[in-house]
A and B are shown apart, each in its own frame.
Chain A
Amino acid sequence: MTDNIVDAFTRALLDVDRLAAKQIVQNRGHDTAPVKFAEDVVLPALERIGAGWQSGTLALSQVYMAGRICEDLIDQILPPEDPDRKNQPKMAICILSDHHKLGKIMVYSLLRASGFDLADYGVMEVDDLVEQVQKDNIDILLISVLMLPSALKIKAVKQKLARLGCDVKLIVGGAPFRFDDQLWKTVGADAMCRDASDAVSVIENIMEGMA
């Protein structure tokens, strides 16, 4: 049953058919809580699309449009700050040092569409980022970069946070990490995602470790 819904929902997203997608959300039945729908239908659909991008069968434009449609739909049934949004660690996302926002936008949309809430720091430089993370008591920091020099700056973020005694988990992503599967370790991250939709399972793993 859910499988069929996920199939239909995935199809609607790939066709950029907002109406069809909306219809599926509306027909979900009264007993399906929004968070449950996000977990059982939206996330699996986005994960499938993300996996298709990683294997080269789908294009980024499809991943992007799918994320946007889902974020809008989920915001309608599960507004920001809704207490039903997942009970979760304190999270923030940023772009480090470069001006390329798309990766961050996609991860942010996907996490919100999956029922998470997180702070959006926008573009940050190392020192401001470290200060903000400490001030906000962040548990998980997601960092997106597009340029290699920006990726290499993550090392300084990690070192400065450690020096301040902040126990923050770093999840990193962006093009340089897709071209060198060792780079995330070199910069001292705790995890790397090849695609926005990988973030949910990585966060859940970290949450299990924290519990």
Chain B
Amino acid sequence: MNQKSVTSMQRVLTTLGHREPDRVPFFLLATLHGAKEVGLPIKTYFSDPDNVVEGQMRLLAKYRHDCIYSFFYAPVEIAAFGGEVVFTDDGPPNSGEPVIKKTGDIKNLAVPDVKNTPCLEKVLTATQKLKSRVKDDVPIIGVVMSPFSLPVMQMGFDRYFDLMFEKPDLFTHLMQVNQAFCVEWANAQLAAGATAICYFDPVSSTTITTRQMYLKTGFAVAGQTLAKINGPTATHMASGRCLPIIEDIAATGTAAVGVSCHEDMALIKNACRGKLAVIGNLNGIEMCRWSSEDAEKHVKEVIAKAGAGGGCILSDNHGEIPFQVPDDVLMAISEAAHTWGRYPLNWTADK
């Protein structure tokens, strides 16, 4: 391929096809840094889709990475269910008090109407406008919480575990409601211009549930849900581990998996080869105190372990860069990605 003519979209599609593009694609999954770029407090930034469009476009130009991230924050889905979003000045918005106060409330939980929910409309508007800016040159990554992971925010983690273990009927009902919402929400984002959907499912990670439990729950839910989403998906473990369930994740029909820094990328790549592309796995929290040399070292490690043969996207391990990560660290990551990510990866041979 002629280097100059390769767009981010072509680069990403090639790697998803398990072939080597001109260089390892780099996804800077930054949300809050957009607010920094446009000089607005986080809450104000997310209140108007135009800010997010501007923030994402500036990040794209500045860090020369390979996607637009139309994700606002996970609790936007909780707001859609009538819950509260708690903003802070120096971090991602969080969900407030659970919307499901008593387990019995699950029976009355209604599926939010995606087209008539203002907080979701903002995300869709931003997606449309971003699409008109980048056209088919840069993939736009939309986000949904998996039906299986959303309940942690809907009802609190302890009560969700109790539900999973002790109330199978209500659990199934909750999965049905969440699945209906998730599919509609994902498809609305695709219709608005998202290229692919990142399905966040850390409760399925083996950090949180056993494989045995996963096969009965998160796996089945993912298979059914992804089948109804009208576009490509990537499954993200949000820094939970997944090596023991790689085969299962591939069987849910997803194209890629987001991997934790607690796992060895070489082992993951081996397990994923030809089946799933790997996305990862820079440690976002540690990144807050990285030097430029640290950044370069970690980028090289990911590329050396997982780059060969394509099927690899360099990114952080969580799907969101903490607000505290300095811009010069992000710049150092970007430079290292451009320098060391170029195929063929001859330099990795001497390692």
CB of A59 within 8 A of CB of B213, answer yes
User: With A16-B165, A61-B164 in contact, is A179–B158 under 8 Å at CB?
Assistant: no
Residues in B neighbouring A61, C-beta threshold 8 A: 161, 164-165, 208-210, 213
The stretch from A39-47, A86-94, A146-154, A198-206 touching chain B is: A146-154
Interface positions of B from 227 to 256, Cβ below 8 Å from A: 239, 241, 243
Q: How far, in Å, is B202 (CB) from chain A's closest CB? A: 10
Interface residue? B261 (CB, 8 A) = yes
Interface residue? B6 (CB, 8 A) = no
| Nearest chain A residue, comparing its CB with the CB of B157 | A102
Residues in B neighbouring A65, C-beta threshold 8 A: 161, 165
Residues in B neighbouring A99, C-beta threshold 8 A: 86, 94-97
Question: What per-residue 1/0 map shows which CB atoms of B32-47 lie under 8 Å from chain A?
Answer: 0000000000000000
Interface residue? B199 (CB, 8 A) = no
Question: What per-residue 1/0 map shows which CB atoms of B207-225 lie under 8 Å from chain A?
Answer: 1111001000000000000
B contact face: mostly helix, strand, loop, or mixed: loop
Residues in B neighbouring A179, C-beta threshold 8 A: 239, 261, 283-286
CB of A101 within 8 A of CB of B158, answer yes
Residues in A neighbouring B86, C-beta threshold 8 A: 99
Q: How far, in Å, is A123 (CB) from chain B's closest CB? A: 10
Residues in A neighbouring B91, C-beta threshold 8 A: 147-149
CB of B158 within 8 A of CB of A59, answer no
Residues in A neighbouring B261, C-beta threshold 8 A: 179
How far is A180 from B285 in the complex, measured between Cα atoms in Å? 6
A contact face: mostly helix, strand, loop, or mixed: helix
Question: What per-residue 1/0 map shows which CB atoms of A143-169 lie under 8 Å from chain B?
Answer: 000011100100000000000000000
Residues in B neighbouring A183, C-beta threshold 8 A: 285
How far is A101 from B157 in the complex, measured between Cα atoms in Å? 8
How far is A56 from B283 in the complex, measured between Cα atoms in Å? 17
Interface positions of B from 299 to 351, Cβ below 8 Å from A: 322-324
Residues in B neighbouring A149, C-beta threshold 8 A: 88, 90-91, 323-324
How far is A50 from B261 in the complex, measured between Cα atoms in Å? 20
Residues in B neighbouring A59, C-beta threshold 8 A: 206-210, 213
How far is A100 from B159 in the complex, measured between Cα atoms in Å? 12
Question: What per-residue 1/0 map shows which CB atoms of A172-194 lie under 8 Å from chain B?
Answer: 00001001101100100000000
| Nearest chain A residue, comparing its CB with the CB of B322 | A148
CB of B285 within 8 A of CB of A148, answer yes
Interface residue? A98 (CB, 8 A) = yes
CB of B285 within 8 A of CB of A176, answer yes
Q: What is the interface of chain A, defined by CB distance below 8 A to chain B?
A: 16, 53, 56, 58-62, 64-65, 98-102, 105, 147-149, 152, 176, 179-180, 182-183, 186
Give 12 A-B pairs besides A64-B161, A99-B97, A152-B324 with Cβ atoms closer than 8 angstroms: A56-B243, A60-B209, A61-B164, A61-B210, A102-B157, A105-B158, A147-B91, A148-B285, A148-B324, A149-B91, A149-B323, A152-B90
Q: What is the interface of chain B, defined by CB distance below 8 A to chain A?
A: 86, 88, 90-92, 94-97, 156-158, 161, 164-165, 206-210, 213, 239, 241, 243, 261-262, 283-286, 288-289, 322-324
